[in-house]
Structure 1
Amino acid sequence: MGSVTKNKWLKYLFLKKYAPLAPYLPETQRMSPQAFWTLLRKYRHVIVKPVWGSRGRGVIQVSHLDSDKYAIHYENVKTVIRGRKNIYRYIRNKIGSADYMVQRRITRPTINECPFDMRVIVQRKRKSAGWVVTGKVVKVAGKGYIVSNNTRSKGQLLRFESGIQRSSIKHLSVSALESKINRVSILSAKRLMAFFPEHRIYGLDIATDQQGHVSIIEANLYPAMSHFLKLKDSAMYQRILSYKRG
C-alpha cells in the first residue's frame, strides 16, 4: 500500500473513474509518443510530470507555438525548439527512463503575473466518517517558474481570501469559489476513503482557471504542514494538528 499512496497515476485513475469528480480532473495519460502528441494537438499546452515525485520536481510545460515551433518551460528556463523529433528527444533526455504522465495544462489565474494554485487540507477524526476542510492556502509560483511549490520556486504563500482578492480572478465571488473548492475537496476525500479506508488526512492541490472552474491537480496522502507554518496562521495550523490528534 505504501507505494500506491505516492503513485499519482493510480490516484488520478481512481478519482477520474468516479463520475461526480470526473469533470474536475484534467485529461491525463501515461507518457508515450502517441499520448504526448494527442494531448498537445488537442490542447496546445500540456504538462509532463513524474508519476512518482513531489515538490514540483521534474515538471515540464510544453506549448505548441506554430507549425514547427515548440516552447519548453522547465524550472525557470524557457527554451524554443523546432521540429517534432527534436522536441520529443529533448523531453526524453530530460526525463530519462522515469515513469511520467502528460496532462492538459490548466490556464491558472495569476497574482502579479505569477500563476497560483491552492493546497487544501481535508481531515476526519479517528471515530468519524465526516470529512472537514481544515486548512487552505494560496501558493503563488516564483517569478519565472510554473510550479507553485514554495521551496522550489521561492514563491509566495497567501491566505485564501486575500490571495483571491489580489488576483486576476478578483471579479469572482470569493465565498462561492471557496464553497465549490471545499465541496470538490471533500468529495475527493470521500472517494479516496474507499481506496485508503484508514487514512484521515489529504492535501489536495487544486487549481482554477480564469472563469473559476475547479480542477484537481493531485491528491497527497502525506501533505507537508510547512505551508501553514510559513503562513503564520496559528489558528489554522492548530486546527489541523487537533484533527491529526483526534
Structure 2
Amino acid sequence: MGTVAKNKWVKYVFMKKSTALSPYLPETRMMSQQSLWGLLERHRHVMVKPVWGSRGRGVIQVSDLGHDRYAIHYESMKTVIQGRENTYRYIKSKTGSAQYMVQQRIDRPTIHKQPFDLRVIVQRKKNSSRWTVTGKVIKVAGKGYIVSNNTRSSGKLLKFNPGIKSSTISYLPAAALEAEIDKVSLLSVRRLEALFPEHRIYGLDVAADRQGRVSIIEANLFPAMSHFRKLKDEKTYRRILSYKRG
C-alpha cells in the first residue's frame, strides 16, 4: 500500500472517477509541455507539484500574464520569464527528473493578504465503518509564499471560526461553509476507502475559493499531527489520538 498511498496522481485519478466527488477536484494532469500550456490557457494560473512530494516541497505556481510572459513563484522567489520555451526550461531546472503534475490553481481567499487553505482530519475507529471529521485547522501561508505548509513558509495556524471571521470570506455563513467542507471531506474518504480498505485516518488539504466553493487539493494517508499541537487545541488533539488508538 505504501507506494500507492503516497502517489498523488494515482489518488487523484481514482477520486476523479467518482461522479459525486469529481466536481470538487481541480483539473489536474501529469506534467508535460502540452498539459502545462493547455491548463494555463483554460485557467491562467496553475500549480506544478511533485507526484511524490509532501509538506509543500517543490511546489511552483505559474501564471499567464499575457503577451507571452509568465510569472513563476517558487518558494519565496518570484520571477517573470518571456516566452514558453524559456519558461518551460526554467520550470524543468527546478523539477529535474522527478515526476510532476500540473493542477488548476484554486483562487484561495486570504487572511491579512496571505492565502489560506485547511487541513481536515477524518478518521474511523477499529471495527467501525463510520467516518468522522475529528479535526480541522486553517493554514495561512507565510509572507511571500504560496504554500500554506506551516514549517516551510513560517505561516500561521488558526481555528476554523476565528480564521474565517478574519478572512476575505467572512461574509459567508461559517456554519454552512464548515458543513460543506465536512461533506466533501467525508465523500473523499468514502471513495478512497475502496482503494485503501484497511486505512483509518486521512488528512485532506481542502480549499475554499473566494466565492466559498470547496475543493479537495489532495488526500494524505499519513498526516502529521503537529498542526494541532502547535495550535494548542488540546481537545481536538486528544480526540484525534483517541480515534487512532481505538
TM-score class normalised by the smaller sequence: over 0.9
SS at match of 2:163: helix
2:38 partner amino acid: T
Residues 1:148 and 2:148 are matched in the alignment: yes
Distance 1:61 1:7 in 2: 20
1:66: how far off?
1.3
> Within 5 Å, which residues of 2 pair with 1:162-177?
162-177=162-177
Distance 1:159 1:209 in 2: 18
Give the paired residue count: 246
Match of 2:128 in 1: 128
Deviations 1:103-136 (A, max 9, x none): 0000000000000000000000101100000000
Distance 1:68 1:78 in 2: 17
1:68: how far off?
1.5
1:73 partner amino acid: H
> Within 5 Å, which residues of 2 pair with 1:63-212?
63-212=63-212
Distance 1:88 1:10 in 2: 24
* Unmatched 5+ stretches in structure 1: none
1:73: how far off?
0.3
Q: Identical aligned pairs, as a percentage?
A: 69
Distance 1:36 1:66 in 2: 15
Residues 1:243 and 2:243 are matched in the alignment: yes
1:86: how far off?
0.3
1:177 partner amino acid: L
Distance 2:117 2:162 in 1: 14
Match of 1:217 in 2: 217
1:234: how far off?
0.3
* Unmatched 5+ stretches in structure 2: none
Moved runs in structure 1, 4+ residues, more than 3 A?
A: none
SS at match of 1:177: helix
Distance 1:227 1:67 in 2: 42
Distance 1:51 1:88 in 2: 18
Match of 2:227 in 1: 227
